[in-house]
Amino acid sequence: MIYHGLKGITCIETAISHIDGQNGKLIYRGYDVKELVQKQTFEETAYLLWYGSLPNSQQLHQLSEQFKSNRKLPTYVKKMIHSLPVNMDMMSVIRTTISSMGNNNMTWKPTIDQAITLTALMPSIIGYRKSVLENKSFDENAAKELNHVEYYLFMLTGAVPPKVHVEALETYMLLTLEHGLNASTFSARVTASTESDMVSSLTSAIGTMKGPLHGGAPMGVISLLDEIAASQSAIKVISEKVMNGERLMGFGHRVYKTKDPRAISLKKVLLQMLGEDQWLDLAIDIEETAISVLNKLKPGRSLYTNVEFYAAAIMKAIDMPPALFTPTFTASRVVGWTAHILEQSENNVLFRPQSRYTGETIKQ
């Protein structure tokens, strides 16, 4: 039996997260993610994924200080970012920059301190590259007391962000920290299984995330939102797409057979901001229309709104440039990747699946 894409094959045991697709639950280290987003911060949840438990006040303070002290980009990295072609996309910039950090401090065996350093640097890499392209000044010290999500938004805009924007983005990033053995996480664990360093494993994951079938889904939702806004008829646009057999971006999921728990949490954020942004209002309206159309034209398919749909609406609301959607996803998922790299190193077995040869036999 050949399982193309390894679909349905279980190849690891993990204590990091669990996806209950039938019942629509996502669990981080024993905690329902819907509860975590209401009570915990990005830093607290990152600590949970790395250490296996929620931090006390002292542990949280220590982690926050580690984040702040590791944000500064090395001089050689800044020079590298300046030298990269202006038409190089942000995911390629992140991949190249992270790869350059594979020095003697990043050798096997991976450590949590390495994970914290690499996570802390993500907003700096993205923000510095954006400032270079826009020919704007970059002050690393102006926001040194901000938390991780606040700092990321500051690096993108140059201003202390509104609380409502921080809450919206933090909810999104917390919900996308980790999601089982997806394609990029699998890439990270395969590389780690060779006893390569954390930077190499992370570079593999970033390269995988760059692919549009994995990290590019919110972009498709933006196109849908724009198309509906232009036509002013959600029913018409959605019905035509479904009838033409087009994939309706932002709806359905390979794992969840009921409502995506991450989408439910993000929707709560959108409802709190209802009336403050036209894109949020449009997204709520589109969701109701789309579900109605899908139930009518594709009965029994259980197609519900997924996390990418609401993520796109939030990105629109906080004026996040579309080119930064996948990089922002990456800045969050680096926590899950590094947690899996650490777990792989604790009970390592080299990944070595088999393939079936379908070419010609030896020619006489």
- Asked whether the predicted pLDDT for residue 344 surpasses 90, the reply is yes
Domain membership of residue 210 (yes or no) is yes
- Position 41 scores a pLDDT of 96
- Position 252 scores a pLDDT of 63
The CATH code of the domain that includes 49 is: 1.10.580.10
pLDDT tens per residue across span 97-130: 999 998 777 888 999 999 999 999 999 999 999 9
Spatial neighbors of 53 by CB under 8 A, at least 6 apart, are 29, 47
Q: State whether 148 and 282 are in the same domain.
A: no
Identify the burial level of 358 via C-beta atoms within 10 angstroms of its C-beta, where 0-12 means exposed, 13-18 middle and 19 or more buried. exposed
pLDDT tens per residue across span 5-57: 677 777 888 999 998 877 778 999 999 998 999 899 999 999 999 999 999 99
- Position 153 scores a pLDDT of 94
Q: Is the pTM of this model over 0.85?
A: yes
Instruction: Identify the band that residue 84 occupies on the pLDDT scale cut at 50, 70 and 90.
Output: very high
Q: State whether 210 and 64 are in the same domain.
A: yes
Q: Which residues are catalytic?
A: 253, 308
- Asked whether the predicted pLDDT for residue 272 surpasses 80, the reply is no
Q: State whether 152 and 281 are in the same domain.
A: no
Q: Of 303 and 351, which is predicted with more confidence?
A: 351
Q: State whether 113 and 195 are in the same domain.
A: yes
- Window from 45-49, 237-241, 329-333 with minimum mean pLDDT: 237-241
Angle value at C-alpha 131, between 61 and 149, nearest 5 degrees: 25
Q: State whether 36 and 151 are in the same domain.
A: yes
Domain of residue 283: give its range: 217-317
How far apart, in whole angstroms, are the C-alpha atoms of residue 166 and residue 31? 23
Q: How many residues does this entry show for the chain?
A: 364
Q: State whether 198 and 278 are in the same domain.
A: no
Domain membership of residue 278 (yes or no) is yes
Domain membership of residue 8 (yes or no) is no
